[in-house]
Structure 1
C-alpha cells in the first residue's frame, strides 16, 4: 500500500520491509520478538532514521514510521520501535554529546542495544509539568542524584538503559525544569517491578523506583537549560510512530477480515457480497488510509525541521490512527463472529492491543484539548 506522497525510494523500502516481515511468523513470545528485532536490525530497518555517521540509515521519522507500519501490517507491531530508535535515538542524535552518540547510536541502529523511555508517573500522566522525579547535584563529586517513580514504562527488562525524564531546580527562579538522563539498567538504586497487564504483548510494562540513583555528570543528555525543547523532540516522533503502530495493526486485522469475507459462504454467497459486511470494512479501510496521510504529513514536517507544524500534525495523526485502529479491529472481529475470538485467527488479542494506540502516549481527550486551544484558538479548560 503506497501513496502519492511516497518517493520511489520509500515505495521500495516499504516493499522490502513488507516482504521481510511477512516471511516471519507472528512473534507470540519475547524470544521470537527478539530474533525478529535482531534480524531487522541487521538489515538496517531499526536504525533507518539515525545518522549514517553512527551506523544508521540517514533517513528520518518518515522512513522509520513506514517500517513500523509494514511490520504491524504483517502481524509484528514491535512497540520498542516507538521507544528505542524513535524517541531515545532521536533525542541522543539531536542533543547528545559526541561520546553519548558514539556509545549508544550504533547499537540502537543495528538492534544490538535497546533503550527504554521513562516519563509517565503515578501522579503525572498527561501533565508532564507535574513530574516529581528530581535530580540534584552532589557538590563534592559533580554527580547527579536522581529520585522518583515512573509507571507504564515499556521494555525496561530488555533495555540496556532507560532515558529518564527528571527535573532540576533552576538556580535563577527556583522552578523545576525537565532534563533527560541515561540510566543503565543495573545502576544501584534503580529498581523495577513488572506490572500485571491484561495486554498481550511481547514487551512488558514496569513501575520504576529511583532511590538516590547516582549518575556521572555525563549521564545528562543535552543542555540542562533546554527544558521542554529536548523533551518534545522525542514526543513528536513518539506520536507519529504510535500512529504508524495503530495503522499497521488496523491493516493486519482488516486483511484477515477481508480474506474471511471472501471465502466464508452462507446461503451460497460469500458474506463479503452483503453490504452489511462490505460497507463497514470499506469504511475501516478509508479511515486507515486517511490516518496514513496525516501520519505521513506529520513525519515530513518533523523531518523538515518544522517542530511547531509537526506537533499539531503528530497529535492529529495519532488521534486519527488510534480511532481507525480500534474500529478496524472491532469490525474484523465482528466479521469473523465466533471465529474472531479464537486463537486460530489471531484477532482477539488485538482488541486490547488496539487500545494502546488510542490511550498512549497521550489520550484522545488531551489531543482534543491541544487542537481546541492550539489550533482553533479556544480558551483552555485547565
Structure 2
C-alpha cells in the first residue's frame, strides 16, 4: 500500500501529467519532470537524486502513463543506467552522470538485444578486447531495438570480454558516447506510435578509454541483472499506467454514452469486463510494488522472481484493458479523437519487451517450480 509520502507523490505527478496531457511534447515534459525532481527519485541524494528507490520511480512512471504521457526513457536512463552506475560505477562516473540523470539534463540508452541474441543473453556476440596501445577497450558488434539512442548522450552497451584464465566470455558494461567514432545508428521503421524511436546499432572497432567500463570486469551477470530487474519493474509501471489511461477513457464514455436513454455502462455486458480490467490492473500493481520493495531492500533474488511476475501480469492486464476500452467505444475507439487505437500496438510491447511472456513462464517454471528445462 502507498505511504502518505507516496500518495502525495502520486498526486503531484498526476497533476503534472494532466497539465501536459496525451498530446504532450516529450522534451518539455522530460525537462519539467527533471526540474521537479521526479526523474531522479531513485538516485542517491549525494548526486542530486531523491534518495528513494525503484518503488518511487515506478510510481512516477505509472502516474504519467495514467495521464496519457508516459516517458519510456525513464525505464532506461534513471532506472537501468542510473541504478547500475549508482551501484557499481566509479566515483568519477557517478559525479559525471547521476546529477544529470536526476535533473533530466543527461540521458543514457541501454543496449543489450542483438539480432541473433534476443532472449538468450548468453549468445551476445558484441565483444570487447583490450586496446594494447592505450589500455582502453575496443568494441565490435551489433545491437537492435534500442530505444531513444538519438535522444541519449551515451549508450550503456552490454558486451563480452574474454576471461584470461578460462577463455570463456563474460558480460561487461561499457559507456559509449553517442559521437564515438565507429558507433553508428539506423532507425527501425516501426508501426508503433511512440515519442521514442527504435534503432539498430553498429559498433565497428569503437575505441573507448579504460574508464568506459562500469564496475568490475569479473562481476559478470551480477551487474547486468542489477539493471534488468528495475527494467522489468518499470515496464510493469509503464503497462499499468497505459492500462489505467485506457480504462479511464472507457469508463467515462460508458457513463456518458446513452442508447435508448440508458447509459451503456449500466449494462453488465459493458460494466463487468471493465470491472475485470480494473481488478487485473490492481493485482498487477500489487506485484509491481512487491517487486520494487524487494529490490529496494537489496533482495536481488527475490526481486528477480517478483519483477518477472509483475511484468507478466502488467503486460496481460494492459492488453486486456486496452482491448476492452476500444471495444467499449465501438467505432469511436478507432478514431484519432479518443486516442485509444494507437494504444493497441503500444500495449503489446509490454508482452514482448524487455522479455517475452513465454520466457517469463520459463523462468517461473524453472526457477520457482523447479521443473526441468527443455533447452
Could you state the TM-score of these two structures normalised by the residue count of structure 2?
Answer: 0.99
Confirm or deny that 1:362 pairs with 2:358: no
Confirm or deny that 1:12 pairs with 2:5: no
**Equivalent residue number for residue 18 of structure 2:** 22
**Equivalent residue number for residue 157 of structure 1:** 150
2:95 counterpart (90, 102, 122): 102
**Equivalent residue number for residue 235 of structure 2:** 242
Distance in 2 (CA, whole Å) between partners of 1:246 and 1:126 is 20
Across the aligned residues of Structure 1 and Structure 2, the Cα RMSD in angstroms comes to: 0.6
Contact 1:117–1:154 (Cα < 8 Å) also in 2 = yes
Confirm or deny that 1:68 pairs with 2:61: yes
**Equivalent residue number for residue 254 of structure 2:** 261
**Equivalent residue number for residue 172 of structure 1:** 165
Confirm or deny that 1:209 pairs with 2:205: no
**Equivalent residue number for residue 290 of structure 1:** 283
Q: Unmatched 5+ residue regions in structure 1?
A: none
1:338 counterpart (326, 331, 336): 331
Distance in 1 (CA, whole Å) between partners of 2:82 and 2:246 is 30
Q: How does 1:32-47 map to 2 (within 5 A)?
A: 32-47=25-40
Alignment deviations for residues 305-347 of structure 1 (CA, whole Å, 9 cap, x no partner)? 0000000000000000000000000000000000000010000
Confirm or deny that 1:223 pairs with 2:216: yes
Name the SS for the 1:247 alignment partner: helix
**Equivalent residue number for residue 195 of structure 1:** 188
Q: How does 1:177-188 map to 2 (within 5 A)?
A: 177-188=170-181
Name the SS for the 2:20 alignment partner: coil
Greater Cα offset, 16-25 or 340-349: 16-25
Name the SS for the 1:172 alignment partner: coil
Q: How does 1:303-382 map to 2 (within 5 A)?
A: 303-382=296-375
Distance in 1 (CA, whole Å) between partners of 2:63 and 2:245 is 9
Alignment deviations for residues 62-87 of structure 1 (CA, whole Å, 9 cap, x no partner)? 00000000000000111101000000
Shift of 1:27: 3.9
Distance in 1 (CA, whole Å) between partners of 2:144 and 2:315 is 22
Distance in 2 (CA, whole Å) between partners of 1:149 and 1:155 is 16
Give runs of ≥4 in structure 1 deviating > 4 Å: none
Alignment deviations for residues 236-263 of structure 1 (CA, whole Å, 9 cap, x no partner)? 0000000000000000000000000000
Shift of 1:25: 2.5
Alignment deviations for residues 110-152 of structure 1 (CA, whole Å, 9 cap, x no partner)? 0011100000000000000000000000122101000000000
**Equivalent residue number for residue 59 of structure 1:** 52
Shift of 1:6: 1.4
Greater Cα offset, 295-304 or 17-26: 17-26
Distance in 2 (CA, whole Å) between partners of 1:129 and 1:99 is 30
Distance in 2 (CA, whole Å) between partners of 1:343 and 1:67 is 26
Contact 1:27–1:202 (Cα < 8 Å) also in 2 = no
Alignment deviations for residues 259-295 of structure 1 (CA, whole Å, 9 cap, x no partner)? 0000000011000000000000000000000000000
Contact 1:88–1:116 (Cα < 8 Å) also in 2 = yes
Name the SS for the 1:168 alignment partner: strand
Distance in 1 (CA, whole Å) between partners of 2:294 and 2:314 is 17
Could you state the TM-score of these two structures normalised by the residue count of structure 1?
Answer: 0.98
Alignment deviations for residues 8-61 of structure 1 (CA, whole Å, 9 cap, x no partner)? 111111111111111113246xxx101000000000000110000001000000
Distance in 2 (CA, whole Å) between partners of 1:292 and 1:214 is 43
Distance in 1 (CA, whole Å) between partners of 2:89 and 2:23 is 33
